[in-house]
Amino acid sequence: MLALASGEPAWNPFDLAVADTALVAVSAVSRHVLYVNRADPVWDASLAYSDNQSRTALTTGLERRRLAGWTLHGRVNFNRAWSGEFDTGLGRRENDSQSFNARDYTIRTWKAAPQLSWQPGRAFRLAVTYTWQNSRNLLPSAETSSQNDWSAELTWNPPGRPNPAGFRAVTSLRAKATYARIAYTGIPNSAIAYAMLDGLQDGRNFLWNLSLDRQLSRAVQLSLNYEGRKTGDNRVVHVGRAQVRAVF
């Protein structure tokens, strides 16, 4: 086994207890999944555990992060057009900053998200999802968040007509809209609020996006993307992107 100048092991993936004097950055990611009836055309289920840890030496001191949790997933096909999925989980998100106590938190989150999908053919799919999420900071500041999301997502892939050269233009259109209602107790616009709310705000939040991908030729693809959001009392934000890719 190799060792650092300070005597610390260099290639032990299970050892995160690196001395502060020898640390630049260390991370470890593990994921374990138990499948039941995997890839069955009617139903399947899975139970997953993931753990992502890291420690980093910054100019302001050491910072430790961890994201771990259990996730239970289930899927059932009612018939050729209708299907349902369900996700539920318990997660834990931690951050420990040596210099900034305001960035310290240990957030425990319960989450459940059922989804109903309708796909009458290969070209069209509509999915409706409801997500309930409850989070609490286990440190003495004890911030809490209760979140309810309703979203709808549409995908349309119309079959293209071949041109005289035999090339068939492929188009893909995706649209999604989300309404999130959040009840948060704590200091707004803080590090804990950002981590607990994923960038959203207390109150009503609206998010929507639209993307279009089109294969212009065998080597050129055009992508157009538009995103909009209205979070809490903030003003509406619009973001647009355009990209052309050429593959030789």
Strands (E) across the chain are located at 25-36, 43-58, 61-77, 82-97, 105-118, 124-137, 144-156, 171-185, 203-215, 220-231, 237-246
d(CA 175, CA 228): 12
Token reading at 61? 């001191």
Q: Please state the pTM of the whole predicted model.
A: 0.82
Distance between CA atoms of residues 37 and 43, nearest Å: 7
Beta bridge partners of 87: 73, 113
Tens-binned pLDDT, residue by residue, of the chain (248 aa): 334 445 555 556 556 666 656 667 778 889 999 999 998 999 999 999 999 988 887 777 788 899 999 999 999 999 999 999 999 999 999 998 888 888 899 999 999 999 999 999 889 999 999 999 999 999 998 899 999 999 999 999 887 676 666 666 778 999 999 999 999 998 888 888 988 998 899 999 999 999 999 888 778 889 999 999 999 889 999 999 999 988 87
**Distance separating alpha carbons of residues 52 and 64, to the nearest angstrom:** 11
Look up the CATH number of domain 29-246. 2.40.170.20
Closest CA to 75 of 34, 111, 123, 39: 39
